[in-house]
Amino acid sequence: MILIRLCKILPLYILLSGCAYIHSLDDNLPRQIDVWIQNKDFGKALDTLYYIQAGNTNYQQLMMQKDRIIKLANSFERDILEQGNKHLKSKDWHQSSEVYEYGLNKLPDSRAIKKAQAEFLAKRATYLKQLKLRLLENKTKWLLSDTETRNEIARVIPQNYSARWLMQDHKLDIDSTSKTLIECVTESIANNELDVGRQCLNIAKHLKPSPYFQQKLIEVSQQLEQEIETRSRNLSKHGQKTLRSAKMAIAKGDFKSAHQIINTLPEQDKKNGKVLAFKDELDEQTEDYVGKAILEGRKLYSAGKVQEAYLLWKSLKTLSPDNDRLQILIDRAEKILRKLHKIGSNQDIVIPPDKQ
């Protein structure tokens, strides 16, 4: 008889959430529920209350608690979503991650928090990919600038073993970086991230690796162009109209509007070959414009027109947010403007806001 009962009970424990079911049998459950509410363990409380039957001696009290928990859980869910989004906008990636982890720990079945966390993880992965690309771009620039110096050393002392060894080591470094960029292009094609693939290829084109990797670069370049060509045929009507608007903006020299317009495209259209080619052109022209504008600001700065130089450089930040050289110039101009303000200069000065 006991064996028969065990056979009936064991499957029940396997199918049901064991802990929640056991808690539902506790005579002091209302008190335990209050503890969970205090600790914001809404998931535990709701899971346990799911198993409460009408015959439970505390049924009425527990159902009142359940209504309260649902309201508190909904409020908690909204707070988590708000906090997570706030940290994400400020690029406080770790804080945002911890908020979503905490939210799911307290409310594991929240679809809204799960969705927000999934979107956060996707955005973080994209951002990390861009940071890695920036590292590769920086390394490529360093390799290119270093090549000339190493070649000159080898020319001056051609018989020197150390100089030859350093040059060989440098060539291996170029090959290694080229290999990483080739893999980036290949993975991007496989993952349908053609924009990333183009970025990697554009960086790799500046390097001069060994013949083997040169051939590999040609091959992946052809593969990428073929994929882009295939996708170029599927640009939506909305995408075609948006692309025309962006081209009109760039023709007028309004690079800021061109970037804003092209960023309104849906994700599928952003992967289109025509859009990717336009973005390459836009990025190239934007970089050229920013470089010339920085030089124009330098002329203003040298002529004592610090305020005008500052405002010009500041306006370029939206076009080139990661430009370290630009940020250095802005910081320098800010310091000068603050000093002029303190000594009571007669110039019309707009004081930059204090950094938080």
Whether 118 is covered by a domain: the verdict is yes
Which tokens sit at 263?
A: 């960023």
Nearest to 313 by CA among 299, 301, 329: 329
Whether 185 is covered by a domain: the verdict is yes
pLDDT of residue 154: 81
pLDDT of residue 181: 94
User: Please, are residues 329 and 290 in contact by the beta-carbon 8 Å criterion?
Assistant: no
Domain identity same for 197 and 229? yes
Residue 183's pLDDT band (boundaries 50, 70, 90)? Answer: very high
Domain identity same for 75 and 88? yes
Q: Round the average pLDDT of the chain to a whole number and report it.
A: 83
- Give the tens place of pLDDT for each residue, 87-105: 998 889 999 999 999 999 9
Give CA angle at 230 (228, 233), nearest 5°: 105
- pLDDT for residue 354 is more than 60: no
Answer with the one of 183, 209, 233 that is the final residue of a domain: 233
Which range is most confident: 48-62, 73-87, 309-323?
73-87
Whether 79 is covered by a domain: the verdict is yes
Domain identity same for 100 and 125? no
pLDDT of residue 15: 43
Whether 270 is covered by a domain: the verdict is no
Residue 298: how many CB atoms within 10 A of its CB?
A: 14
Which range is most confident: 54-63, 129-138, 163-172?
129-138
For residue 335, which amino acid is it?
Answer: K
Q: How many domains does the chain have?
A: 2
For residue 74, which amino acid is it?
Answer: N
Residue 8's pLDDT band (boundaries 50, 70, 90)? Answer: very low
Which tokens sit at 268?
A: 């599928």
Domain identity same for 140 and 219? yes
Domain that holds residue 138: 113-233
Residues 154, 173: Cα–Cα separation, whole Å: 17
Answer with the one of 75, 109, 143 that is the final residue of a domain: 109
Residue 63's pLDDT band (boundaries 50, 70, 90)? Answer: confident
Whether 162 is covered by a domain: the verdict is yes
Residue 355 is classified by DSSP as P
Mean pLDDT of 164-187: 90
Domain identity same for 127 and 173? yes
Domain identity same for 55 and 124? no
- pLDDT for residue 320 is more than 90: no
- Torsion angle defined by CA atoms of residues 79, 82, 88 and 89, in that order, rounded to the nearest 10 degrees: -150
pLDDT of residue 22: 43
**Please, what is the end-to-end C-alpha distance for the chain in angstroms?**
73
User: Please, are residues 161 and 127 in contact by the beta-carbon 8 Å criterion?
Assistant: no
- Give the tens place of pLDDT for each residue, 187-225: 988 888 888 888 899 899 889 899 999 999 999 999 988
Q: What proportion of the chain, given as a percentage, has pLDDT over 90?
A: 29
Q: Considering Cα of 258, then 221, then 132, then 83, what sign does the dihedral take? A: positive
- pLDDT for residue 2 is more than 50: no
- Give the tens place of pLDDT for each residue, 247-260: 888 888 888 898 88
Whether 329 is covered by a domain: the verdict is no
Mean pLDDT of 48-58: 78
Whether 89 is covered by a domain: the verdict is yes
Domain identity same for 70 and 51? yes
Domain identity same for 71 and 127? no
- pLDDT for residue 324 is more than 70: yes
User: Please, are residues 47 and 79 in contact by the beta-carbon 8 Å criterion?
Assistant: no
Whether 269 is covered by a domain: the verdict is no
Q: Measuring CA to CA, how many Å separate 185 from each of 132, 171, 194, 353?
A: 13, 21, 8, 42
Half-sphere exposure of 16 (CA within 13 A, CB side): 17
Mean pLDDT of 114-137: 91
Domain identity same for 93 and 159? no
Residues 313, 297: Cα–Cα separation, whole Å: 7
Answer with the one of 109, 124, 141 that is the final residue of a domain: 109
Tell me the pTM.
0.58
Q: Measuring CA to CA, how many Å separate 258 from each of 244, 252, 287?
A: 10, 10, 13
Give CA angle at 208 (204, 186), nearest 5°: 35
User: Please, are residues 58 and 32 in contact by the beta-carbon 8 Å criterion?
Assistant: no
Question: 323-338 b/e with 16+ CB inside 10 Å = b?
Answer: beebeebbeebbebbe
Domain identity same for 101 and 125? no
Domain identity same for 100 and 140? no
User: Please, are residues 182 and 222 in contact by the beta-carbon 8 Å criterion?
Assistant: no
